[in-house]
Amino acid sequence: MTTPTVTRTHAEAAARLRTAIARLNRRLRQETVGELTLSQWSALVAVESSGRMRIGDLAEHEHVSAPTATRLVASLEAEGLLQREVDAVDRRATVVSLSESGRQALAELRRKRTEALAARLAGLAPADLDRLVDALPLLEDLSG
């Protein structure tokens, strides 16, 4: 299979799309961050994605040191959002998982971000909203 040729048009469209997505994502994060830091939210999502993970694996995933990950886990555990358990395979290790409160916090964050984005979409002209909806399958394909 041959690699498609990337033209200037592709590069310019990619730059504009990347910038628009980054700005929109940043704005949604700023509007809905709540009482946790972005690092704490990121750690919760990482633990949610894996189900259970060792603190060292979380550190690697989040690109932080092990002591930083330990402090991050401690802060989330103190908020009741994560729970620690002894690893059944290696009793010297600790694994963390989301608590029910952690699951609820992530669901609430996602709900707030969806509401914030829906409010922005409500400000679009109907024809612009239709164009955006028509483009969604393309964007979903690109993200897959």
- Rounded to the nearest angstrom, the gap between the alpha carbon of residue 77 and the centroid of all alpha carbons in its chain is 19
**Cα–Cα distance between 130 and 133 in angstroms, integer?**
5
Report how many domains make up the chain.
1
Q: Which residues face 98 on adjacent strands?
A: 82
Element (H, E) at 124: none
Residue 86: helix, strand or coil by DSSP? strand
Q: Does residue 17 form part of some domain? A: no
Q: Does residue 5 form part of some domain? A: no
pLDDT bracket for residue 2 (50, 70, 90):
confident
**Cα–Cα distance between 4 and 10 in angstroms, integer?**
11
Average pLDDT over residues 135-143: 94
Q: Does residue 11 form part of some domain? A: no
Q: Does residue 18 form part of some domain? A: no
- Predicted TM-score (pTM) of the model is 0.82
Residue 31 is part of which domain span? 26-143
Q: Does residue 2 form part of some domain? A: no
Q: Does residue 9 form part of some domain? A: no
Residue 6: helix, strand or coil by DSSP? coil
pLDDT bracket for residue 110 (50, 70, 90):
very high
Q: Does residue 128 form part of some domain? A: yes
- 69-98 pLDDT tens trace: 999 999 999 999 999 999 888 888 889 999
Average pLDDT over residues 24-51: 90
Compute how many other C-beta atoms are within 10 angstroms of the C-beta atom of residue 101. 14
Q: What is the CATH number of the domain that holds 45?
A: 1.10.10.10
Q: Does residue 30 form part of some domain? A: yes
Mean pLDDT of the chain: 93
**Cα–Cα distance between 73 and 71 in angstroms, integer?**
5
Q: What is the pLDDT of residue 92?
A: 87
